[in-house]
Structure 1
Amino acid sequence: MTVMTGGEALVAALAAHGVDVAFGIPGTHNLEIYRHLGAHGVRHVSTRHEQGAGYAADGYARTTGRVGVAIVTSGPALLNAATAVGQAYSDSVPILVVSPGLPLRHPAAGNGLLHETRDQQAVMAAVAAASLRPTSVAEIPTAVAQAFSIMTSGRPRPVHLEVPLDVLAESGEAPDVEPVAAGPLAPPAAAVAAAAALLSDASAPVLLVGGGARTAAAQVRALAERLGALVVTTTNGKGTLPEDHPLALGAGIHLPAVRSLVEEADVVVAVGTELAPADLWYGALPVTGKLVRVDVDPVGMLTNATPTVAVLGDAALALDALLSGLGAGSPAALDASGWRERKAKDAQAEGAEWLDVVAALAAAVPRDVVMATDNAMACYLGTLAGLATHTPASYLFPTGFGTLGFGLPAGIGAKVGNPDRPVVAMLGDGGVMFTVAELATAAELGIALPVVVVDNSGYGEIRNEMAERGDPVHAVTFPAPDFAALGRAVGCLGVTVDLGADGTPADLTAAVRDALAAERPTVIHVRMPHPREGVAR
């Protein structure tokens, strides 16, 4: 037992769990936490908005495999971070958001205390896996250990930890609580045997790989090669199998060619994916009666599609066991070029408007790039299926919850967690305005971060939806600021490439290459040909 304040007990417990960086903003009520960060070796990255802190923690977590931590103050600050927590829940990302809470004996009806919120825990419990509230200094180390157990056991999820104001300030005995490592979940032998038997007789198997397979990249590759199976990934699974591998079809699981491929398959193995509508835009895939599902989440195992064989367990352990059950074999030689061409044509037709942008980026980025993208047309219709990535967790995108403004702060978090790895942030002109203040964060950090803002004059997807419905098209087209000048105003470099005038894709390629080698962030404003209000693109 060591006597310390609640704030120090919290920081010491975080450090004991391996936390050495946190994103956030100090405020009146969380200063007792901030007071102790440096003494316990926790670096702090100051974002300009709490939502940005949450997204940065998310980008850090996705690319490092570690828990991302955001520290915010109470009330409005925590509510600002709630959207980022909801996004992390949707995408199965382990982030911990730490905040103060109302004092233990705060009047039930309230009294107008600064940042007073009636029930912060209820708010956060609605978007996180759990909202924990220790009520004494002695409880704090246990609460931190519980939070890490929740975040790192089974399916990763975000957690909120709230420490009452008076508990942060008071002194008490804080026990040393060791991290609890549950270990990966081993699959049942009977389920593995049933899956192996089904696959042993398969002549045209297909692998559908999601974000839950990020830590099983070697096993995914080995299984694909053992079966001679083509591999398609979800958005979060993109890069798990290098996209230049002969069996890789890349991401874009919603495309018509993938549906045809699945229709012709005799066994479909889905690894670490919900098979969610957010990935399958045009309806569920035809997998009934031939689906082997590998997942660590027993609820997710039965969501969206019922498996013929359910293998509950950690993806790496389950695929290792499945490979052992299959034994050595010689799969028939498979020519994937036809399917690759069909899928590429689908992707090009869907993202025709963005082909020049995608090609320019492909010529500029190195093989190990991390693309931190936003819910922008140029991303989900362009780079998702059109820009190859080759490592797990190399394409960050806000699926499911579908927030805007994710790409810039997520890119910052990815770069903080991977300082020697190239990172590119890519957003639309509408979405970037949600978190544009984080350009100042990136400038302060002095990181080489190309921030590619593709400007199609507003909310292009909603503009199209209005037109397709026959509705009046309004409130979706607007002039963008001069993003290059805005970047320069907060300490970044700024470049404009006007593809609607005399700019060329080669100019964009050069701008991204230069930005990757710069000593600070570069805002690259890509102007697209602009539509008129009321005219769909």
Structure 2
Amino acid sequence: MSEPLGEPAPTAAPSYGPAAAMTGGKALVRALAVHGTRTAFGIPGTHNLEIYRHLDRYGIAHVTPRHEQGAGYAADAYARVSGRAGVAITTTGPALLNIAAAVGQAHSDSVPLLVVSPGMPLRHPRLPTGLLHEMRGQSEAMRGVAAFSHRVSSVEEIGAAVARAFVLFDTERPRPAHIEIPLDLLEAAEPVGQTQLRPPSVPRAPHSAMIDQAVQALRAARRPVLVLGGGARRAAAYCLALAEELSAPVVTTANGKGIVAETHPLSIGVSLHSPSVQRWLADRDVVLAVGTELAESDLWSTGPPVLNGTLIRVDLDPAQMYAGLQADIPLVADARLALEALLAGCRERDDHTVSLPEHDVPEHDVPEHGASERAGAARVDAVRLRGLRGAETAGRDARWVPYLHAVRSVLDADAVITSDSAQCCYYGALPHLPVGPEGRYLHPTGFGTLGYALPAAVGAKTAAPGRQVVALSGDGGLQFSVQELATAVRLRLPLPVVVFDNGGYGEIRDEMAARGDTPVAVDLTPVDLSALARAYGGRGERAETPAALADALTRALAVSVPTVITVPEETVR
């Protein structure tokens, strides 16, 4: 679904002298610093103070959210926006379990998140002793949501454990990792040599025979299409160039949103959930799927899509070639290298090296197909499908569209928008708020957690302080993590939080009604969110029209505190 960050390994470790005794806390912080960590998110506790003692010395800034789940979501968004691994620090027991939901979300969305925590002492007995924060198995719990949980058995091993995590982030499908350091090792001083660095890595290149097969299929295709997931993001320029070369419409998943500008004539946007688009996909003779699972969370329906044409899958994860829909032509490779080779082959170049910037494709490098019959038909198809998608759900989605247009009218092209598992986001913003490759839209796909948007916005703004960041949420989801307004106030962040207030859990209310059930436990006591924002030291406004929302958003971006902008759903309908 995703690909490694490609973050270069440090060329040389800072010199800390010969092997000397140091505590586990110092060894951990040193290893994080050597691997490029500059910011960590977390909350200090009784058992992790030795970690916090060394952060400043090694140049690691720290952000203190108000809940460990918020720390996890903030570190997740920091990773997505910065291109570096997100790092979160918790203490033992309940703190680690608090962050588990965020780890599960990062696993679902292929985000490189490293969580470090103390654990029970090395020789802690299996029978309970009543030690503070004692639990039977922290690592066992984290293995259920992370790629791995590594419990070290010596101070020397800490460096290897950190290197192991960064190797995962660089060379495999990036997913969260957990490192547990027994609390007696955090305080114990043991001889430690130089920090172990992850070895230099090169992106996985595609198999030449598979590239030849894929090029042959694409060049012969009469009705090709590109389906882009989050794993295609670092290949954005090549995706656009190949779509132009093939005159192929582009459909994306939620995680692939904006890889190709959603205002581009070939873009159908986030539309895999549309029945019209799914029927149209079944009629394509070649489907090139890049960095996507083609799973229920992408389709919003059970079972894989029906595809009658040749399926070419590009993914770093070999398991994706056989998950759901088996690939007819599997390309297990870094997406950027695979797309570069496909583009060169489709252009029939002798030299298979194509140099493109990260997001912009120079006009002279993209053949002009505007006059060709197939190019015209592809653009007509894209327009028609966008219309069909909108018509299918107009009764449900149209209420949010004017407000989302107001948001788009205020924001810069490179703005970061964070999203929650709220109707206004997955029905509204995902398909109807256009984003391009210079911007980002961060959504909790797959695991579908609530409360992501606000702490994720804190993490995104920490990663990119010069870019506009806006959070979109519903009133139910916001209250899972509303305490992170205090974090944004402390950091003096100009952070608008747009909340569509439908008085509770609107999606579940609608699902109950659709079953013929009487809605129960879905209507929440009204909360004055503006007053709540002011209580935290921020600002609060109400916006009952799209124009009022645009004005409120403009003001919110100009002040150095968060602003909760409440849009009452009764005015939206």
Structure-2 separation of matches of 1:432 and 1:292: 40
Runs of 4+ in 1 over 6 A off after TM superposition: none
Letter in 2 for 1:487: A
Q: Is the 8 A contact 2:128 2:134 kept in 1?
A: yes
Give 1:349 deviation, angstroms.
4.2
2:98 corresponds to 1:72: no
Q: Does 1:285 align with 2:286?
A: no
Question: Which residue of the partner structure matches residue 534 of structure 1?
Answer: none
Q: Distance in 2 between matches of 1:209 and 1:423?
A: 24
- What is the rounded CA distance, in whole Å, between the counterparts of 1:40 and 1:178 in structure 2? 16
Which range is displaced more, 336-345 or 4-13?
336-345
In the other structure, the counterpart of 2:352 is: none
Conserved 8 A contact 2:290-2:335: yes
Q: CA RMSD in A?
A: 1.6
CA 1:185–1:347 in structure 2 vs 1: closer, same or farther (change >3 Å)? Answer: farther
- Checking the alignment, whether the CA contact within 8 Å between 1:288 and 1:306 is kept in structure 2 is no
Q: Work out the CA distance in 2 between the residues paired with 1:136 and 1:166.
A: 10
Corresponding position of 2:525:
479
Are 1:255 and 2:274 matched, yes or no?
yes
2:153 alignment partner, one of 132, 135, 157:
135
Residue correspondence of structure 1 range 186-205 to structure 2 within 5 A: 186-205=205-224
Match for residue 507 of structure 1? 548
1:27, 1:386 → 2: CA distance? 43
1:169 and 2:169 matched:
no
Residues 334-387 of structure 1, C-alpha deviations (whole Å, 9 max, x = no match): 233333333343454441232232222222222111110000000000000000
Once the two structures are TM-superposed, the CA of residue 530 in structure 1 deviates from its matched residue by 8.5
Distance 2:98 2:403 in 1: 32
- When normalised by structure 2's length, the TM-score is 0.89
The unaligned stretches of length 5 or more in structure 1 are 498-502, 532-536
Alignment of 1:88-487 (within 5 A): 88-176=106-194, 177-283=196-302, 284-328=304-348, 332-334=374-376, 335-336=379-380, 337-346=383-392, 348-391=394-437, 394-487=440-533
CA 1:171–1:288 in structure 2 vs 1: closer, same or farther (change >3 Å)? farther
Q: Distance in 1 between matches of 2:192 and 2:395?
A: 61
- Normalised by the size of structure 1, how large is the TM-score? 0.95
Q: Is the 8 A contact 2:119 2:180 kept in 1?
A: yes
Match of 1:500 in 2: none
Q: Distance in 1 between matches of 2:174 and 2:404?
A: 31
In the alignment, the residues of structure 2 paired with residue 207 and residue 529 of structure 1 have an alpha-carbon distance, to the nearest angstrom, of 39
SS in 2 for 1:40: coil
Question: Quick one: distance in 2 between partners of 1:318 and 1:350?
Answer: 39
> Aligned equivalents of 1:149 and 1:215: distance in 2?
18
Task: Give the aligned residue type for 1:453.
Answer: V
Q: Percent same amino acid among aligned pairs? A: 51
1:325 Cα offset (Å): 1.8
| Residues 350 and 447 (structure 1), Cα distance of their counterparts in 2 relative to 1, 3 Å cut | same
**Within 2, Cα distance between the matches of 1:492 and 1:483?**
11
Cα separation, 1, equivalents of 2:453 and 2:526: 18
1:471 shift after superposition = 1.5
One-letter code aligned to 2:410? A
Question: Relative to structure 1, is the Cα distance of residues 285 and 350 closer, same or farther in structure 2, using a 3 angstrom cutoff?
Answer: farther
Aligned to 2:76: 58
* Matched residue, 1:524: 565
Matched residue type, 1:187: P
Amino acid at match of 2:540: G
Alpha-carbon separation, structure 2, partners of 1:479 and 1:355: 27
Is the alpha carbon distance of 1:117 and 1:490 closer, same or farther for their aligned partners in structure 2, counting shifts above 3 Å? Answer: same
Matched residue pairs, number?
527
1:244-287 Cα distance to aligned partner (Å, 9 max, x none): 22211211211123113313311111000000101101353222
1:291 touches 1:309 (CA, 8 Å); kept in 2?
yes
- Whether the aligned pair in 1 keeps the contact of 2:287 and 2:309 (CA below 8 Å) is no
1:449 offset after TM fit, Å? 0.8
The 3-state SS of whatever aligns with 1:258 is helix
